[in-house]
Structure 1
Amino acid sequence: MKRGEISFWLTHPGAPTAPPTQTLARDIDCDVAIVGGGLSGLWVAWALAQVRPELSVAVLEAECLGFGASGRNGGWMSAKQVGVRRALARGAGGAKAVTDMQDRLASACNEVVDILGADEIDARRGGWTQLARSASELRRAENYVAESRRWGLDESSIRMMSAEETYERIHASGIVGAIHSPHNYCVDPVKMVFRLASLAIDAGAAVYTGARVTNIEPGQLTVGPHRVKASQIVVATEGYTAAQPGQRRRMLPLNSSMLVTEPLTQDQWARVGWDHHDGVSATAHTYFHSERTPDGRIAIGGRGRPYRFGSRTDRNGMTDEATVRSLMQVIEDLFPGLGARPAHAWCGVIGVTRDWSPFLDYDSAGQVLRMGGYAGQGLTASYLAGLAAADLLTGRKSFLSTSAWVRPVPRRWEPEPLRWIGANGFYLAYSLADRLEALSRSDRTSRIARIADKIAAR
């Protein structure tokens, strides 16, 4: 079994070939410099070419395309709510701005597939299904759907399924019900990044890899011995933002781990019954997400080791044995006796703001735009954020440039060691809450989890 090596999507024998990029070997000038060559940065580059094709755009990626969360994620592109509604509703647009953006998410998924091409990114539409496997999980699921109704989502967008209907979609053990939404595609993350990079390059953007930005000033970036002068700068570094000078507490690099199994046999898949292309997750506090890959594997993700002291990040996705055992135990718990075997495990970081919600913060005086904070919903959110960023940079007033996501960077995270204690302590609390709820027949959410939610501002 492999561990690390960035991700399965990037390194398996059938992985796609990256489009040709450039090496920064001299000082350059450009109209817009974008720090970060993940989905956010690439969508900004592509979107700028659609509205102002005459602008010169340089994308500066510290590693290789697909190195960060954009190439390590679980492959869900859904219309799930991005951010915390009540936090976003505090903005000038209020609740209406939140519901308007929420409505935009479903069409965004389809637009991305139309732009990139379903076959190019292995896009499979099946929706997402969130399993409930205890009385307390079922009640939380019902409350989630009820809250979604209050925020304007009708039956066609999200609904409850009975245990019987859920079992028809997936033969997981202990099902008592589920949430289902039709708005989700499962995709190959690296194919998505590479395809978008190709389109951005074809549209005129210069994409540099191995171009680590070490200093950001208004109008100028430092990349090794070279200077990049730009009229405008976009910082789209998500979970790696904390590595920048003065930004250590802006975004929490929350760890997320992934595992793919060896391909299952036809008999094994018959037992699993996962015939639709649903992304499948849980209503437990210690959340997992999963999909069936085109080559017949189970890909599953969870938290693993939640946070490293000092906002440090992993080394090329290396995971520990405990995380592998934990993710395999989830599969065994869902499908007892299945006999699945692990093939490749890795991890990465997602960028989380203190209020768990996205932002586009544009300093028009300094001509610097900072963006991110999708907290795990980046495949869809990065597209809309990229369009919004292009409108902000070019002075275009639009629905997206005035949306609920356009707001100042939220307040900073707590200093160490409080940050480490809190991030890891919350995960332990949620794990304990799950164990207590499993032993109880009550439909009430554990008090431990309720307190943790309140402190975490979730």
Structure 2
Amino acid sequence: MTALAAAPRNGELGFWMAGLAHKRPSYPRFTGDGSVDLAIIGGGYTGLWAAYFAKKLEPSLSVAVFEAEQIGYGASGRNGGWLSAMPAGNRAKFARASEGGIEASRALQQEFIAGVDAVLDILQAEGIDADQVKSGALIAAHTKAGLGRLAVRRDAERKYGLTDDDVYLLDREEFQKEVNISTVHGGMFYKHCARIHPAKLVYGLADTVTRMGVNIYEGSRVGSIDGNTLTLDGGRVTAAKTFVCTEGYSGQLLGSRSLIPINSSMIVTKPLSDEEWQQIGWNGPQNLNDSAHTFIYSQRTADGRIAIGGRGRPYRYGSGTGGAGATAQSTIDLLTTKLSAFFPGINFEVDHAWSGVLGVTRDWNGGVQWDPASGIGSSTGYAGHGVTAAYLGARTLAELAFDRKTERTSLPWVGYRAPKWEPEPLRWLGVHSMYSLFGFADKWEERRDSTETSLLAKFGSRLAGLHE
């Protein structure tokens, strides 16, 4: 008899967090009454970066981070590990909304490019080891239509200031020299992208800010903000300034229709052998995704696995966030099938599956908000590009709050207000309809060997506000 493969671990905040469970720092729960100069709600990347830059600007500040669960509980501990220059939003919409027009959007794009190296420089300076390596990202085109979209996308990147060295197209042979995907028609390479280990980055930042004098509280949910008073489950805090840094979990504090939690799921394989890696031909630490409408994102981990993610079941009715990330078997099968289609002949064993949510506004544009009158600000709506966006948004928020005028404080996402989402059940129907259209479009293009993007995808893109 053949032994059945063991079921993969599922949920538990995901592979990155579970693998560091023995090293997880523990922080106290806040109880009683207190006061601080700066209260930060949310213990993920945005909140921790905000604490870091606030203390850099004003070392004498009393700063406290209040996390409802444990640090890194949300997208910061569960993401795909892409530190990329992709901006959190639609550059054309930012240009139309800004007095600076396209030049303002170019400036935003350049700050995202600069942000990749800035994060890496800070990690080196602070001694944070997050398996970081800047090796770029490859985008695979499995259809002729997908390759055509990449050509259009390359032209758009140039429009917003990327150079031929920053992004360029690859033909089939050139792509297969980087990663040996048999079905690829070609692809594109982005220079400004680094691989990271998400949980190591969370814990490294947390350790750094606590050494700077920041207090972190876990299991300390902020239920409401009334002026300068934060009400928690276990007490109250008076804060001169408050930053809301809760991304996909922001509905309670910022309004349920301001942004919604879109689900994304991941699996990670068991470590692959040298022979399997040779067959796959993925010889470097480049990140990898594809040009499908229902795209995937993946990385080769530092310990020789493939971590791959995609949307799966994209949205839970009523903006549910999914807790610790248990993932449906159908989603695990979908991602496993995608991986096997990329690299046939490899017996991939799934070691862990998990899900998490990211914050998405109605037009998919993020924003940094600061209100001097109330002393309350936020940085949210990263739409899946949160590793760099959290750094840039948090740094900008700190500069706005402490009256530092910089090249970041005039970027077009500062003060940008996205339209509100529709009430339920309309938004559930809309999100699921959009992803269904994208799925049908991918199948249409594959079956017909189409050279043109499906009209279904074009309609879905406009419906979602993604068209640039």
TM-score, normalising length: structure 2: 0.95
Does the alignment pair 1:218 with 2:224?
Answer: no
Matching of residue 66 in structure 1 with residue 109 in structure 2: no
Matched to 2:201, the amino acid is M
1:77-226 equivalences under 5 Å are: 77-89=83-95, 90-117=97-124, 120-226=129-235
Q: What SS does structure 2 have at the residue aligned with 1:309?
A: coil
Is 1:2 matched with 2:5?
no
Tell me which of 386, 395, 404 is aligned to 2:394. Answer: 386
Does structure 1 conserve the Cα–Cα contact (< 8 Å) formed by 2:260 and 2:359? yes
2:301 corresponds to 1:293: yes
Residue 2 of structure 1: how far off its partner (Å): 0.5
318-327 or 200-209, which moves further after superposition? 200-209
Does the aligned pair in 2 maintain the 1:16–1:191 contact within 8 Å?
A: no
CA contact (8 A) 1:9 1:15 kept: no
Paired letter, 2:116: C
Q: 1:47·1:386 contact (CA, 8 Å) conserved in 2?
A: yes
Q: 1:262 to 1:425 in 2, by over 3 A?
A: same
Contact conserved, 1:21 with 1:209, CA < 8 A, in 2?
A: yes
Shift of 1:430: 0.4
Q: After the TM superposition, which residues 247-258 of structure 1 pair with which residues of structure 2 at under 5 Å, given as runs?
A: 247-258=255-266
SS of the residue aligned with 1:448? helix
SS of the equivalent of 1:402 reads coil
Which residue matches 1:28? 34
- For 1:225 and 1:280, locate their aligned partners in 2 and report how far apart those are by CA, in whole Å: 44
The letter of the residue matching 1:94 is: G
CA RMSD of aligned residues (A): 1.3
Of the three residues 232, 256, 262, the one matched with 2:241 is 232
Structure 1 residues 15 and 156: CA distance shift in structure 2, 3 A? farther
Instruction: Output one character per residue of 1:103-146: Cα deviation in whole Å (capped at 9) or x when no partner.
Output: 12222111212212386111022100100111100100100001
Runs of 5+ unmatched residues, structure 2? 1-7
> What is the CA–CA distance in structure 2 between the aligned matches of 1:160 and 1:374, rounded to whole Å?
26
Percent identity, aligned pairs only? 38
Contact 2:230 2:237 in 1 (8 A): yes
Q: Give the C-alpha shift of residue 15 in structure 1.
A: 5.4
Letter in 2 for 1:443: T
**2:312·2:331 contact (CA, 8 Å) conserved in 1?**
yes
Give the secondary-structure state (helix, strand or coil) at the position aligned to 2:102.
Answer: helix
Write the letter of the residue equivalent to 1:105.
Answer: F
Query: In 2, Cα distance between the equivalents of 1:453 and 1:182?
Result: 26
For structure 1, the 5+ residue unaligned runs are none
**One-letter amino acid of the counterpart of residue 182, structure 1:** K
1:121 match: secondary structure: coil
Could you say if the C-alpha distance between residues 68 and 331 of structure 1 is closer, same or farther in structure 2, counting changes exceeding 3 Å? same
Runs of 4+ in structure 1 deviating by more than 3 angstroms, as ranges, are: none
Q: Distance in 2 between matches of 1:409 and 1:274?
A: 41
> Are the equivalent residues in 2 in contact too, given 1:10–1:16 (CA < 8 A)?
no
Quote the Cα distance in structure 2 between the aligned partners of 1:218 and 1:96.
Answer: 37
Aligned partner of 1:282: which letter? Answer: D
